[in-house]
Chain A
Amino acid sequence: MTRLRLGGAVVPVFASLGFVFLLVPIAYTVLFSFNDAGKTNLVWRGFTLDAWRNPCGAPRVCAALVGSLQVGLVSTLVATALGALLAVGLARARFRGRGAVNLLVFLPMATPEVVLGAALLTQFLSLRLPLGFGTVVVAHVMFCLSFVVVAVKARVATLDPALEQAAADLYATPWQAFWKVTFPLLLPGIGAAALLAFSLSFDDFIVTNFTSGGFTTFPKFVYVSATRGIPPQANVISSAMFVLALLVVVVVHVVSRARRPR
């Protein structure tokens, strides 16, 4: 009896510890967005709403955020469109070298990011491309693409090929069959892939640092200012992003539950 109760307690205890481990850094970030920081935001000096009232108060923090959002949106758009088409093609079409392409698409995910970043930098330099927004987008599209392909391909695999045939049987041209049947059914997968791509792009520091030159994204701003002291405004933006991401997850969950057939 006692042993059983003990055993029953072990799981919740470890689970709670795990959660604490996961959440403490986030809680710390949120907490220090309210810190009355001096030169460095490292020790607690007292509660204030200053940073929240004026999130762009620290020099260049908002420019970095806007840079990140721009890069994220453009590379998500490009990577999702290209990746979705690639996924449908790889899942449906039969051509020579399909296995090889499948493997190649996987490679960027397996390659260490530092190596990718360094390789991209070498390429850009040897092509004499000026580093900046454009090169960052190219680099981000490159590493997001694999993830989009993998996510959408999983969705294509669940599609019943008989549906496209039924569409053809009901007078739909291949083009109409794709847009009226295949695409709507892939949409949840494509949406998930786009969210993933955006968060990967928004998050990225290593590849960005290699390929951005003078251009600054939010992660790069945080890294660079770490030596001088991160302003509490960076914590504000991080916390806001965290809340936003949480909201997206909740909304997606609620919507998908509401749409599920009872």
Chain B
Amino acid sequence: MAVRTGGVRGAALEIDAVTKRFGAFVAVDDLTLDVPSGAFFALLGPSGCGKTTTLRMVAGLERPSAGTVSLAGRDVTHAPAHRRPVNTVFQSYALFPHLTVLENVAFGLRRRRARDVRARALEALELVELVHLAHRRPSQLSGGQQQRVALARAVVNRPALLLLDEPLGALDLKLRRQMQLELKRIQAEVGITFVHVTHDQEEAMTMADTVAVMNHGRIEQLGAPADLYEHPRTAFVANFLGQSNLVAGTVVETLDAGTTLGVDVAGVRVRVPAARTVAAGPRVLVGVRPEKIRLLGGTEDAAGGDNVLGPGTVVDTSFAGVSTQYQVAVDGLGTFGVFAQNVGGATVHPPGSRVHLAWAAPFTFALDGHEEVAAGTVDLDDEP
């Protein structure tokens, strides 16, 4: 983490072996997390995986059933919420309906008897471009505006740690992008430690310097966005962070002095870098990202060293502007997703075409073969 000079430094957050049970239900399961001071940290996971519960334990609104929470090296597990230098942007905004927007933003400053309350609150409102609505009540604002008030109300206190629970969920795409940049700017400017909870993998990857992927109350994998994307260690991460094509295979040989594994996939030999293989035994899931695959028509040949699967039939071709997205049913293996960038002059394969799939062997990864192929795939009707 780069050391920042000047201004308030954010505090490091350590969550150590924290478990939260609601009756018999385990919402957060033996979770350990280190968020360095000044980090922009994203907690990414599907709805119901325990993200909000984790934040609430950090904020002091929920007591862990076990484990400790430390801030800047101090154990705060049992400190009440109002004594923690932590502010939260709540998923439901939780704005005070009887106070004006300005008084909502000023609330934290007034409780701590800060100086220049009004000026600072207005400054925070300027940050979220809501000064002109300072004297309205929250009920007179749109969902997106309320969310920005909630953000201003938290940021204005310059806490050591800012917790953001899906803070951009109600914004439309354009404002969302704008606020993402704004949040990154604020974070860089004030050096507050941010823990940003989201179920939007794109948001997590574009904003955070570290992403923790959470599933069923546990951290599946943690790392820099590019690292998570290129080196997923579980099927859940491979599917939840972007998309992946996963097929079952068996390791049958070691090649190139142990740096490459030869894997049998339904009778075809596929080469996988040993460094990108997680599996313990010979049973693996061979994976490749859709944008790495090229489609070869009848006459084209794969380059040497490519992995090739097929033939298969194109079942769907959708033009999406920057890319064309294909669904290819490969005989005996199932359906593959393929993204072909629109670089111009590329052949478009209409549905019904017979094609082979080819990709450079180093882009292949392999996961433990006992995992569920569909883990972490997003249903269309999933909660937003």
Contacts and interface: CB of A to CB of B under 8 A. Distances in A.
A166 B90 CA distance: 8
Given A176-B111, A261-B137, A261-B140, A168 B97 contact: no
B80 A168 contact: yes
B92 A162 contact: yes
A167 B90 contact: no
A170 B157 contact: yes
Contact of A165 (B81, B95, B157): B81
Interface string A49-86: 00000000000000000000000000000000000000
Interface string B107-118: 110011000000
B219 interface: no
Interface residues of A, number: 21
Given A162-B94, A261-B137, A261-B140, A167 B107 contact: yes
Contacts of B92: 160, 162
A216 B341 CA distance: 93
Contacts of B137: 261
Interface in B52-109: 59-61, 80-82, 86-88, 90, 92, 94-98, 107-108
| Interface range for B | 20 to 34
A171 B96 contact: no
Nearest to A159: B97
A260 B88 CA distance: 29
B60 A168 contact: yes
Contacts of A176: 111
B206 interface: no
A168 B108 contact: no
B140 A169 contact: no
Nearest to A260: B139
A61 to B, nearest CB: 43
Q: Which has the most chain A C-beta neighbours within 10 Å: B81, B98, B112, B139?
A: B81
A173 B84 CA distance: 12
- The secondary-structure label for the interface of chain A is helix
A112 to B, nearest CB: 40
A160 B157 CA distance: 23
B81 A168 contact: yes
A171 B90 contact: no
B103 to A, nearest CB: 10
A247 interface: no
B158 interface: no
B276 interface: no
B224 to A, nearest CB: 30
Interface string A163-205: 1011111111110110011001100000000000000000000
Nearest to B111: A171
Contact of A163 (B80, B87, B96): B96
Nearest to A169: B88
Contacts of B140: 261-262
Query: Which of B80, B95, B111 has most chain A Cβ within 10 Å?
Result: B111
A169 B96 contact: no
B61 A170 contact: no
Contacts of A185: 97-98
B57 to A, nearest CB: 13
A262 to B, nearest CB: 8
Given A181-B96, A261-B137, A261-B140, A172 B82 contact: yes
Nearest to A177: B82
B74 to A, nearest CB: 17
Contact of B61 (A165, A172, A173, A181): A165
Contacts of B96: 163, 166-167, 181
A217 to B, nearest CB: 37
B112 A160 contact: no
Nearest to B80: A168
**Most chain B CB within a 10 A radius of its CB, from A163, A169, A180:** A169
Given A162-B90, A165-B61, A166-B90, A171 B98 contact: no
B271 interface: no
Contact of A169 (B61, B112, B139): B61
A174 B80 CA distance: 10
Contacts of A170: 82, 87, 107-108, 111, 153, 157
Contact of A171 (B82, B94, B95, B139): B82
A15 to B, nearest CB: 35
19 contacts: A163-B94, A165-B94, A166-B88, A166-B90, A166-B94, A166-B96, A167-B96, A169-B61, A169-B87, A169-B88, A169-B90, A170-B82, A170-B108, A171-B111, A172-B82, A181-B96, A184-B98, A185-B98, A261-B140
Interface of A: 160, 162-163, 165-174, 176-177, 180-181, 184-185, 261-262
Given A165-B81, A169-B59, 4 more contacts: A168-B61, A169-B87, A170-B87, A172-B82
Interface of B: 59-61, 80-82, 86-88, 90, 92, 94-98, 107-108, 111-112, 137, 139-140, 153, 157
3 A-B pairs with least C-beta separation: A170-B108, A166-B94, A168-B81
